[in-house]
Amino acid sequence: MDVYGLLGNPVGHSLSPPMHEAGYEKLDIDARYVTFEPPVEKGAEAVESAAMLGVSGLNVTIPFKQDVLDAVEPDDIAARIGAVNTIDFSTDPPTGYNTDAAGLVRAFEHHGVSLEGQAVLVGAGGAGRAAAFALADEGMTVGIANRTVEKGVDLAADVTESAVDGTASGHALDTLSELLADADVLVNATSVGMEEDRSPVPEDALHGDLAVLDAVYSPIETRLLREAAAAGATTVDGAWMLLYQGVEAFERWTGEDAPVDAMNEALRAHLE
Ligand code: NAP
C-alpha cells in the first residue's frame, strides 16, 4: 500500500484526504492519504523522516511551504515562487512542485477561459505568489494590487525578472478600479471574503468582459463571485483551484490521469 499525506500545522480540517482517497478508490489504487502535524520548526526534518519511512508523496501547507525547500529539489516554477506544496519521493533527492500555480491555470481552463491579455491579481501572500507566476508564465500582463504595496511591488519585480513570457507591476488597492477597466482576468488571492461577507474589489469596477477566480473556497460563493456574476463576468470558485492543485499532485505521484469528477464530487461534498 502507498502512503500519501499532508504536512501542515494545523491540518485538522483538511479537505485533501477525502479528495485524494476518492481518486484512489475510483482507479482502484491501493493507497491511503493521511495528515501529519509536526512542530512548526521541523518541516525539513519531517520531509527527511517521511523519505526514510517510505512515504510516496506529501502535500505541504502552512507553515511549511518555504521550509521544505531545504529538503527537496524544487522544479523550475516552485524555485521561482519560493514555495513547495507537493513532494514526490520517487526521486533522490525528492522533487518539490508548486501545484497551486498549475491548479489555478487548470481551473480557468476548465471554465473555457483563455489566459491572454491583462490580469489583475489582488494579494501577494502565498497564494498570490503562485498566481502571479502562473499568470505571467501564460503570457499575461499582471497588475498586482496588495494592501502592503511594497510586497506587491517586490513580487512584481521577481515575476518580471523570471517569468517565461509575461510581466508584472505592483499597485495600491485603491487603484483597482483603474486596473480593472481593461482587464480580462481577476484573481482574488487575499483572505478577504473568507468566512465573511466582504469583497476586496469595489463592486462597480467589475464588468462582463472579466473572468474572476476567487481563491477563497469557504464560503464557495463569496461576495466577490456573487457581484462578479451579477456584472456578467465568468466566475470560477476557489474549490476549482483547490481541486486542480490536488489533481496535479495526484497525477505526478501516480502517473495516471486523475479521475477529476470523482475527486471534485468528494471535495464539494465536504465543502457544502
Ligand atoms: P497569506 O500568505 O497570509 O496572504 C494573505 C493575503 O491577503 C496578503 O496579500 C494580505 O495582504 C491580504 N490580506 C489579508 N487581510 C486583508 C485585508 N483585510 N485587506 C486586504 N488584504 C488583506 O495567505 P495565503 O496562503 O496566500 O491565502 C490567501 C487566501 O487564499 C486564503 O483565503 C486561502 O484559503 C486561499 N487559498 C486558496 C487556495 C486554493 O487552492 N483555492 C490555495 C491557497 C490559498 P498583506 O500582504 O498586506 O498582509
42 as an active site residue: the answer is no
Instruction: Give the right CATH number for 101-236 from 3.30.70.1140, 3.20.20.150, 3.90.1570.10, 3.40.50.720.
Output: 3.40.50.720
User: Residue 13 — pLDDT band, cuts 50, 70, 90?
Assistant: confident
pLDDT digits (tens, 9 = 90+) for 209-249: 999 999 999 999 999 999 999 999 999 999 999 999 999 99
pTM greater than the 0.75 cutoff:
yes
Name the 3-class secondary structure at 191.
coil
Atom of ligand 1 nearest to the CA of 245: 40
Counting Cβ atoms within 10 Å, is residue 123 exposed (0-12), middle (13-18) or buried (19+)? buried
Q: Whose CA is nearest to atom 9 of ligand 1?
A: 123
Q: Where are the domains of the chain?
A: 2-97+240-269, 101-236
Distance CA 179, CA 145 (A): 9
Fold exhibited by the domain 2-97+240-269 = Rossmann fold (3.40.50)
Instruction: Tell me the residue type at 4.
Output: Y
Q: For Cα atoms 151, 136, 134, give the angle at the middle one, nearest 5 degrees.
A: 85
Cα–Cα distance, 194 to 216 (Å, whole number): 6
Please name the residues in contact with 235: beta carbons below 8 A apart, sequence gap of 6 or more.
Answer: 211, 212, 213, 214, 225, 228, 229
Pocket of ligand 1 (CB under 6 A): 100, 103, 123-128, 146-148, 151, 189-192, 194, 200, 215-217, 238, 241-242, 245
CA dist 108 and 240 (Å) reads: 8
Say how far apart CA 265 and CA 97 lie, in whole Å.
Answer: 25
Over residues 105-122, the pLDDT tens digits come to: 999 999 999 999 999 999
Query: What percent of the residues of the chain are helix, what percent strand, and what percent coil, each to the nearest 5?
Result: 45, 20, 40
pLDDT tens-digit series, residues 122-180 = 999 999 999 999 999 999 999 999 999 999 999 999 999 998 999 999 999 999 999 99
Give the three cell numbers for residue 16: 485533501
Distance CA 197, CA 192 (A): 9
pLDDT of residue 272: 66
Q: Do residues 68 and 7 touch, judged by C-beta distance below 8 A?
A: yes
189 CA distance to ligand 1 middle (Å): 5
Alpha helix stretches (DSSP H) within 111-209? 126-137, 149-162, 176-180
